[in-house]
Chain A
Amino acid sequence: MYIAQQKKIGRLSSLPIVTDKRKNMNRHKNLESIVQLIFLILGLVTIASVLLITIYLIIAGIPAIREIGLVDFLFGDEWASTAAEPKYGILPFILTSIYGTAGAMVIGVPVGFMTAVFTAKVAPPRVRMVIEESVSLLAGIPSVVYGLVGMLILVPGIRKMFDIPDGASLLAAIIVLAIMTLPSIINVSITALEAVPKEYEEASLALGATETETFFRVSVPAAKSGIAAAVVLGVGRAIGEAMAVMMVSGNAPNMPDSLFQSVRFLTTAVASEMSYSSGLQRQALFSIALVLFLFIMLINALLNFLMKHDKE
């Protein structure tokens, strides 16, 4: 409607009402089209950035995969990049990332979900404000601070509690990731729960269900794709987190056989060797980043699908 109006004004202003001003108008029109072009270019910067990232990762990531062989690279179970006969198998990293993320979700989703239902539906306004403030603070704390606190509380705690030589382990990483993904899970779930039409809840209450029953048996199912989106967003955050995990996971390229093993994630594999790597080792790190990127793209696509589904 607004654009149509724009066109109308454009037509009106181009009428030769005052002939002297025609030249002026033309210059004016030129200016307008230049400005429009500038804004278009600014808009395209986003697309250009995505393309830049994708293309660079593919160019940098492919050579090592070709040299090592796709199957050996993805499913090789040993990573020994600095050995005399280097081995570049990233299965340990992939599995660690998957297990770590899954573990973080097992802890983070129930806590985040319950907190979200409480905040969106049950909490009195004051309590709600406190929770929302806490969650936004939780999101605002830098990841290295989580890493630091994890290093000094979680790691020694796990060492003492389970009586193992070093507490820097998959379990520590899982706990840190669970805490770090809470804000995304809670915020997106709250938005989804708030969007549930009031009539659904009123109908359920009128039929004799109590408030709590209504929230869990009516509101939550109605908001399920939004809540699923929240979980997927949390998965994306967890799989992409590098620094905090690097500080608590021990960083040895082991297979994640137990919760108490020192492990390396996809992200930390890239970060930990980048500063001193060269040659094929460096290229292999780019390939790891490419694998990570593909994971993220899959998650993004899923997220986008769920968000759209939610809107409909």
Chain B
Amino acid sequence: MDASTNTNQIKKPLSFKRKAYIGTMSFLMWLCALITCGLVVFILAYVLFRGLPNLSWGFVSTAPSYLSGNIGILPDILNTVYIVLASLIIVLPLGVGAAVYLTEYATNKKLAGIIEYAAETLSGIPSIIYGLVGMLFFCQFCGLQTSLLAGALTLVIMNLPTIMRTAQESLKTVPQSYREGAFGLGAGKWRVIRTVVLPNCIDGIITGCILSTGRILGESAALLFTAGFAHAVNGLWKGLHSAGATLTVALYVYAKEQGEFEVAFGIAAILVILALILNLAARMVGAYFKKKRG
């Protein structure tokens, strides 16, 4: 801001060419920022406007039935919950463990570099490829068939880099003096990690969980061939071992293959609301821990 006062003090006015350049650029910047925000508002408003009227208690609490022509999304909601739980439970120890190895143990720079490069590669691989390999490896090679568990395992690989990165970042913020203090008191390495380092990076782990949940909720291409698209209401254990559509896959099937746009918009509204909640949650977790740290 002080820059503008500086330039104003120069007596000679700006040439027309410069003025035009500045004007055009400012206009374009405002325009593009407006376009970006406008797009978000438009998409959210459109989805909610078309989707919310379709949401009813019957819609979210019943299973679809060809006999009665009823369309309900309870099985899809349950499947989504199962797959989120199963993926997170498996990916958390893997991702956090890898992060602990990288920040606390790794003495071999080369190996650490390779691990990080592998994580970067994983995060760049498109979800359709995860879906294919998941189908070949988990469904066929491991004999899991098309099941929620196979889908969850595929998502584990997909979310590994996310959890790893957030955990790593927050491990780095644990002050070195905490570790030194614990070592000075005679604690072994594992004890230091367990009692001092991990409890202090809980915020990174929670943030990672929120980000991963968002990704899992939005994922469809990787689940199409690994988790399938059945709509049966099952318990957790049976559900994990049978095929089932998550909300996103159900949306795709209803919209593209059955032309049930009202149902699809109902699901889309739920997904968008969940995305809003997760965004807010991530922000609040960040703010809470920042405040706690002081």
**Do the two shown chains form a genuine complex with each other?**
yes
**Interface, chain A (partner B; CB < 8 A):** 2-3, 5-6, 9, 13, 28, 31-32, 35-36, 38-40, 42-47, 49-50, 52-53, 56-57, 60, 110-115, 117-119, 122-123, 127, 130-131, 133-138, 140-149, 151-153, 179, 182, 186, 205-206, 208, 210-214, 216, 236, 239-243, 246-247, 267, 270-271, 274-275, 286, 289, 292-293, 296-297, 299-300, 303-304
B40-77 near A? 1/0 per residue, CB < 8 Å: 11011011000000000000000000000000000000
Encoded as 1 (CB less than 8 Å from any A CB) or 0, chain B from 88 to 101 comes to: 00000110011011
Task: List chain B residues, Cβ under 8 A from A137.
Answer: 40, 44, 275-276, 279
Q: A114-B31, A289-B129 are in contact. Are A140 and B97 (CB under 8 A)?
A: no
Query: Contact between B220 and A143 (Cβ–Cβ < 8 Å)?
Result: yes
Bound-state Cα–Cα, A275 to B186, Å: 59
Cβ contact within 8 Å between B188 and A271: no
Q: Which 10 A-B pairs have the closest CB atoms?
A: A240-B126, A42-B97, A142-B218, A114-B32, A43-B101, A140-B275, A118-B29, A39-B101, A134-B40, A242-B221
From known contacts A46-B118, A49-B118, A57-B129, infer whether A213 and B10 are also in contact, taking CB-CB under 8 Å. Answer: no
**Other CB < 8 Å A-B pairs besides A114-B29, A153-B46, 18 of them?**
A31-B188, A39-B100, A43-B106, A130-B37, A134-B36, A134-B41, A137-B44, A140-B278, A141-B218, A212-B25, A213-B21, A214-B3, A242-B128, A242-B221, A243-B248, A247-B256, A274-B225, A297-B121
Q: Is B224 an interface residue (CB 8 A)?
A: yes
User: For residue A42, which residue of chain B has the nearest CB?
Assistant: B97
Q: Give the interface SS of chain A, mostly helix, strand, loop or mixed.
A: helix
Q: Which of A28, A118, A297 has the most chain B CB within a 10 Å cutoff?
A: A118
Q: A144-B251, A145-B268, A182-B36 are in contact. Are A2 and B28 (CB under 8 A)?
A: no
B289 CB → nearest A CB, Å: 18
Q: Are B124 and A36 in contact (CB under 8 A)?
A: no
Minimal beta-carbon separation of A73 from chain B (angstroms): 17
Inter-chain contacts of A149 with B (CB < 8 A): 43, 46-47, 268
State how many angstroms separate the Cβ of A204 from the closest Cβ of chain B. Answer: 9
Which residue of chain A has the shortest Cβ distance to B37 in the bound complex?
A: A134
Neighbouring B residues of A303 by C-beta, 8 Å? 120, 124
For B31, the chain A residues whose CB sits under 8 A away are: 114
Determine if B183 and A111 form an interchain contact, defined as CB atoms under 8 angstroms apart. no
B124: A residues at CB distance < 8 A? 236, 240, 296, 299-300, 303
Known: A141-B43, A148-B251. A39 touches B97 (CB 8 A): yes
Structural contact, B25 and A216, CB atoms closer than 8 A: yes
When the two chains form their complex, are residues B40 and A138 in contact, meaning their CB atoms are under 8 A apart? yes
